[in-house]
Amino acid sequence: MHRAGLGPALGGSLDTTLWLAPLAGIALAAACGLRAFLPLLVLGLAARAGLIELHAGARWMSGDLALVTLGVATLIEILGDKIPVVDHVLDAIGTVVRPMAAWVAAYAAFSAWPTPWGQIAAAALGTVAVGVHLAKAKLRLGSTAATAGAANPVLSLIEDVGSLMLAAIAVLAPIAIALVVIVIAWFVTRIRRRPPPSTMLDPHGDAPTPMSSRP
C-alpha cells in the first residue's frame, strides 16, 4: 500500500510524486524561512505516523532522538523569537541555519527523485528560504523601529502559524501550493501591467496636464 502525501513513487510516466515533490519542496522551504526547525519536526512526526515516506537519506527525522531534538529546538526558537533583542539574534543565526534546514526539508520531499537531481533541486529551493527569511528580518526591523518591539511578538506568532500551515500543506496537500503560486503570479503580473501615471500637475493651476503635452 502506498502512503499519501510525499509517498513513494507509483512508477511510470504518470508518477505524481515526481511533480508534487517540487511543490511540497517550495512550501517546506518557505516554511523554513520563517522557522528553521518546526517544518522538520512536522515532517518527522508525519513520517512517524505513517502519513508520508521521506527520502531514504532523511528517514532519520522520524527517529526518537531526532524528534526529541527537533521538538526542543522548535520550542527554543518559538519562545526565543518572542523576546526582544533575542529575536534579532535568532534572525542573524537564521541567515545560515534556515537555508540549511530548507535544504534538508526539501531533500526529504524528493523521495522519488534519483540522485543527484533530488539534492540539486533541494539546494535550489534553499534560495526560497533565504528570500523569505530576509523579508521576515526586514519586516521585524521595521516593526522594532516603529513600535519599539511591542508588535514583534504578534508578528512572531503570525510567523509560527504561517510556518506550521505551509509545512502541513506540504505534507497533506502540496497541490494547493500550485494554486497559491498561480494566484501570486497573476497578482504580480497584473501590478506590472498597470500603466504608470500619465499626468502631472499644471504649475499654473490645479488641473492635471497630460505628460504628452510637456514642452
pLDDT digits (tens, 9 = 90+) for 39-58: 999 999 999 999 888 888 88
* 209 located within any domain: no
* 207 located within any domain: no
For residue 145 the three cell numbers come to: 523601529
Residue 172: predicted pLDDT: 85
Overall number of domains in the chain: 1
CB 82 within 8 A of CB 151: no
* 4 located within any domain: no
Residue 192: predicted pLDDT: 59
Which residues of the chain register pLDDT less than 70? 1-17, 181, 184-185, 187-188, 191-215
* 200 located within any domain: no
* 147 located within any domain: yes
Task: Output the pTM of the full model.
Answer: 0.75
b/e per residue 12-23 (b: at least 16 CB within 10 A): eeeeebeebbbb
* 112 located within any domain: yes
In whole angstroms, what is the distance from residue 40 CA to residue 47 CA? 11
For residue 47, give its domain range: 17-194
pLDDT digits (tens, 9 = 90+) for 176-206: 777 776 776 676 577 656 655 544 445 554 5
* 35 located within any domain: yes
* 124 located within any domain: yes
